[in-house]
């Protein structure tokens, strides 16, 4: 048995969904270990684009079981919409989709608290997706949360109303001007709960332990990027969960010594959604060009992503804290036609040059130190063989591989699962 782990190494949106989809044929179980519907894992095949928010990215494969782990927070309303969107594809959810009893639930009032909290921050807002993720994790660590297993309890309604009453009192603290219809919100929520009850709900850690013992191959799927980790990301502009490799252990109940390979995914450039520091951000035409060609708009929020050159300081940091053993480079095709590509190798703070990721990377204090490398003109999206890639692109990949001291095993040259080259 082997448990392998796949995660993003930047600020999210690296292309995790596509790679999980590509790799699923080699695995028996795909297990999502953290985050919530703030994820937007995009899959493209057969001319159709799919965006998954909670459901693992192996759901379209006929054999793999897809597990939503205990570290995930679930919004029943969004989850029901996902199920409805997948209805035309004749997927047997009873056999292919499992949900941990220990996964926490996002209530309608969690979303309201998220919106009120973000509005109260004014210009200091962190760029929340407003999905209620943060308040749900706060209730989890505050030992007030409600879990999927609770919906089958006789005391479920009472516990729900107790927590909602608490949330409504908290909203008064924010002096919020939010307008909402609680009756309508709850009607939609409880309808979704009824659909959730029809799904296969399991003691997920026990399921995974038995899968391990029987020799099944398991792939743990992360959401968001390593630089959004609540401990190791660019705090406070981070998500509310552990997005690094450690999160797979706590979010699935898998022991650290069971993880074999750690797959790290990164873009050939860097993007970020929402607020927060971004040393290599591009503000001119080149940044706009990358955003347009790369279709850099959030799959969950629709917000435009900020674009910049690749940051090797941040990448090396993410590789180290995750113990990455293999790399996958996404969207190399987007950089085609750019005459000179810049690579950030170091940061300059005042007169001091550093090559490590510091406590603070605000643009006022941290400046990127670049080297230049020749770009390539060729369109990569039609290339399906390693030997046919242009020399300049190959040089770029080999340079990154040498600097990162980790093999780049997969190159993506387009959004479709077929546009994937193995090295």
3-state class (DSSP) for residue 148:
helix
Q: Which of 16, 19, 11 is nearest to 40 (CA)?
A: 16
Q: Pick the catalytic residue: 21, 41, 61, 104?
A: 41
Return all residues near 219 (Cβ < 8 A) that are at least 6 apart: 3, 4, 5, 6, 20, 23, 24, 27, 29, 30, 31, 58
Q: Specify whether the CB–CB gap between 262 and 323 falls below 8 A.
A: yes
By CB atoms closer than 10 A (0-12, 13-18, 19+), residue 388 is exposed
Q: Is 41 an active-site residue?
A: yes
Q: Which residue has the tokens 């897809």?
A: 66
Pairing label, strands 310-311, 270-272: unpaired
Q: Name 370's bridge partners.
A: 344
Do the Cβ atoms of 306 and 278 come closer than 8 Å?
A: yes
53 is catalytic: no
Active site positions, annotated: 13, 41
């Amino acid at each position: 048995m082997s448990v392998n782990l796949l995660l993003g190494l930047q600020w999210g949106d690296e292309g995790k969904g596509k790679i999980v989809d590509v790799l699923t044929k080699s695995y028996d179980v795909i297990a999502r270990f953290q985050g919530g519907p703030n994820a937007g894992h995009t899959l493209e095949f057969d001319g159709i684009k799919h965006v998954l928010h909670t459901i693992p990215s192996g759901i379209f494969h006929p054999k793999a079981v897809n597990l939503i782990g205990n570290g995930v927070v679930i919004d029943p309303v969004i989850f029901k919409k996902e199920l409805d969107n997948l209805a035309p594809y004749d997927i047997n959810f009873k056999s292919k989709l499992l949900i941990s009893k220990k996964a926490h639930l996002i209530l309608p009032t969690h979303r309201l608290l998220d919106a009120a909290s973000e509005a109260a921050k004014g210009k200091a807002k962190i760029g929340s997706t407003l999905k209620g993720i943060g308040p749900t994790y706060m209730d989890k660590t505050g030992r007030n949360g409600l879990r999927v297993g609770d919906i089958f309890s006789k005391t479920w309604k009472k516990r729900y109303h107790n927590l909602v009453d608490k949330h409504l009192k908290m909203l008064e603290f924010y002096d919020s001007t939010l307008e909402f219809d609680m009756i309508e919100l709850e009607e939609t929520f409880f309808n979704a709960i009824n659909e959730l009850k029809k799904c296969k709900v399991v003691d997920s850690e026990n399921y995974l332990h038995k899968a391990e013992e029987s020799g099944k191959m398991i792939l743990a799927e992360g959401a968001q990027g390593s630089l959004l980790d609540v401990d190791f990301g660019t705090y406070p502009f981070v998500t509310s969960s552990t997005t690094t490799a450690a999160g797979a252990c706590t979010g699935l109940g898998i022991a650290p010594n069971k993880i074999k390979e750690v797959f790290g995914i990164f873009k050939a450039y860097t993007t970020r959604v929402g607020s927060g520091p971004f040393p290599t951000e591009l503000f001119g035409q080149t940044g706009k060009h990358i955003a347009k060609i790369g279709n850099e708009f959030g799959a969950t929020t629709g917000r435009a992503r900020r674009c910049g050159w690749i940051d090797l300081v941040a990448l090396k940091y993410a590789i180290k804290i995750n113990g990455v053993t293999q790399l996958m480079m996404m969207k190399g095709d987007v950089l085609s036609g750019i005459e000179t590509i810049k690579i950030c190798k170091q940061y300059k703070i005042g007169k001091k040059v550093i090559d490590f990721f510091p406590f603070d990377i605000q643009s006022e204090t941290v400046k990127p130190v670049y080297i230049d490398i020749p770009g390539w003109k060729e369109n990569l999206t039609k290339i399906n063989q390693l030997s046919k890639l242009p020399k300049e692109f190959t040089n770029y990949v080999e340079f990154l591989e040498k600097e990162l001291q980790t093999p780049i095993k997969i190159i993506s040259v387009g959004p479709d699962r077929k546009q994937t080259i193995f090295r």
